[in-house]
Amino acid sequence: MPYIKFLGGCREVGRSAVLIESNNGAQCILDYGIRFKGEERLPLDGDFSNLKAVALSHCHVDHSGALPFLFKNKDIPLFTNPLTLRMSEILIKDTIKISNYPYPFGYRELQKTIKNASFLSNEVRQKIDDKFYITFYDAGHIPGSVSILVEVDNKRILYTGDINTQETNLVSPAEPSKLPEIDVLITESTYSLREHPIRAELEKRFTDDTLNIIENGGKVLVPAFGVARSQEILLVLQKYNFKSEIFLDGLARKVSIEYAQFPNSFRNFAEYKSAFKKAQLITSREKRKNLKKRSDGLIISPSGMLKGGAALEYISSILNDPSSAVFLVGYQVEGTPGRKLIDEKVFEFKERNSRNYRTRDIFIKAKCNVDYYDFSSHADKIHLHRYIDDLKFQNDSKFIFCMHGDTKSTTSFAYDLSDKGFNSVAPEIGETYKI
């Protein structure tokens, strides 16, 4: 019997990795990401001597980050698409650059990973071994993201990756109706216990609040994630006819420029191009200096959880100004400076000097406005359930594995699904299931 082994991303968000092995021992790995805290940052290693292929759902480093480790001594195809490959390269490089953690790979292994990339279009069936195929389907999470259907020894396994079934300004939603009948589902569980606010109301509130601060002579810093979230914010601003000046810095600027080369990955590329045109790019130290001196304006700049990046160039003057604001637009993981800022209105940061590696503790009590807007790109509780209800299973066993969520989200989700008649479980790392 073929089997599934969970190498990471179990009862946690981070280091997602799943191994699938066929009857005759051929192996395929879906995602190989990293996590940001603790000692164990990589998925499980193991005997991957019969690995035929690796398939990547999307570029976020909790899915792609440890790929260079896997390709260190291997030349096998990495199935992905051009946008995901390019964005993974940017994000993994950034991780290697800014991390204090000694990851067991570097730029050389990253280049080797990129050399092994093989592009696969959505809804095209790709053979990887005897009775072993993969097919990509749009996942609606960020541009380029896919769910992966694995067909092994006549069993169909669907790995959702990160999914969104609601339309965003940037991408179209995942469509379960496009999928064939399956035997096993491996689903993400990030927001399986939570509901997102109504999108249109959230967008309006964000735009109004931002404009309000600027009209009263203040600055707004939006430390959005560089990939996808910054560009979604640009589209929201355009939709509500935001008239004030917008500045883009850091990874948000870099990614926004790169995105322009992938017109087919967007819901409406013309809209994206026009939203991007309205932003002014901070391309030099001089421009940054001038922007810092300004008293008003909207600055979009990562990192999304204020752990580094160009956002830190602007933050101290904004924190000290009661008429300005920091608006966070992404989920803030516990223990990050962004989370502390929301919870305690305090900005605490260990600054590391890149020349002498000395650290300096920054501690600022925020006098400015601080708010959080839940612009998530994951399906929430209602939509995850609806997605699963819309899937067609080939037989009555209806296996579901709940991963990519904390312990409570994955185990409660599995429990709720059992109640609905599914054979569901929240696997633990290292567990193997015959299917």
**x/- site string to Zn ion, residues 193 to 232, per CB under 5 A?**
----------------------------------------
Helical spans, DSSP H, in 12-126 = 61-64, 67-70, 82-98, 107-115
State in angstroms the smallest separation of the CB of 145 from Zn ion. Answer: 7
> Quick check: 114 and 70 in contact, CB under 8 A?
no
Query: Residue 12 or 62: which CB sits closer to Zn ion?
Result: 62
Q: How many CB atoms lie within 10 A of CB 65?
A: 30
Query: Which among 39-47, 59-67, 129-137, 287-295 is the span making contact with Zn ion, rule CB under 5 A?
Result: 59-67
Query: Which among 58-66, 94-102, 320-328, 412-420 is the span making contact with Zn ion, rule CB under 5 A?
Result: 58-66
> Quick check: 6 and 428 in contact, CB under 8 A?
yes
**x/- site string to Zn ion, residues 242 to 281, per CB under 5 A?**
----------------------------------------
Chain centre to alpha carbon of residue 185 = 20
Chain centre to alpha carbon of residue 413 = 21
- Under rule CB under 5 A, residue 138 binds Zn ion: no
State in angstroms the smallest separation of the CB of 60 from Zn ion. Answer: 4
Q: Which of 60, 86, 219, 383 binds Zn ion (CB under 5 A)?
A: 60
**DSSP label at residue 264:** G
Query: Which among 56-64, 74-82, 90-98, 232-240 is the span making contact with Zn ion, rule CB under 5 A?
Result: 56-64
State in angstroms the smallest separation of the CB of 330 from Zn ion. Answer: 11
> How many residues are there in the chain?
435
Pairing of strands 17-21, 359-365: unpaired
What whole-number distance in Å separates Cα of residue 77 and Cα of residue 51?
A: 10
Query: Residue 21 or 162: which CB sits closer to Zn ion?
Result: 162
How many chain residues bind Zn ion (CB under 5 A)? Answer: 3
What whole-number distance in Å separates Cα of residue 293 and Cα of residue 315?
A: 12
Residue recorded with tokens 């922007």: 291
Token pair for residue 287? Answer: 């421009």
Query: Residue 218 or 304: which CB sits closer to Zn ion?
Result: 304
State in angstroms the smallest separation of the CB of 146 from Zn ion. Answer: 11
Query: Residue 60 or 383: which CB sits closer to Zn ion?
Result: 60
Token pair for residue 396? Answer: 């009555």
CA distances from 311 to 15, 57, 278 (A): 26, 28, 20
Residue recorded with tokens 């640009």: 234
Query: Residue 166 or 423: which CB sits closer to Zn ion?
Result: 166
State in angstroms the smallest separation of the CB of 187 from Zn ion. Answer: 12
What whole-number distance in Å separates Cα of residue 239 and Cα of residue 271?
A: 9
CA-nearest of 76, 74, 65 to 106 is: 65
**x/- site string to Zn ion, residues 358 to 387, per CB under 5 A?**
------------------------------
Token pair for residue 250? Answer: 């850091």
- Under rule CB under 5 A, residue 162 binds Zn ion: yes
What whole-number distance in Å separates Cα of residue 301 and Cα of residue 399?
A: 42
What whole-number distance in Å separates Cα of residue 148 and Cα of residue 4?
A: 14
Question: To 10 degrees, what angle do helices 269-277 and 250-259 make?
Answer: 140
State in angstroms the smallest separation of the CB of 420 from Zn ion. Answer: 24
> Quick check: 131 and 154 in contact, CB under 8 A?
yes
Query: Residue 223 or 405: which CB sits closer to Zn ion?
Result: 405
Query: Residue 162 or 249: which CB sits closer to Zn ion?
Result: 162
- Reported as half-sphere exposure (CB side, CA atoms, 13 A), residue 16 has a value of 28
Q: Which of 62, 151, 183, 313 binds Zn ion (CB under 5 A)?
A: 62
Query: Residue 5 or 60: which CB sits closer to Zn ion?
Result: 60
State in angstroms the smallest separation of the CB of 164 from Zn ion. Answer: 9
State in angstroms the smallest separation of the CB of 63 from Zn ion. Answer: 6
- Under rule CB under 5 A, residue 112 binds Zn ion: no
Token pair for residue 125? Answer: 């069936």
Query: Residue 148 or 325: which CB sits closer to Zn ion?
Result: 148
Query: Residue 60 or 86: which CB sits closer to Zn ion?
Result: 60
State in angstroms the smallest separation of the CB of 190 from Zn ion. Answer: 7
Residues that bind Zn ion (CB under 5 A): 60, 62, 162
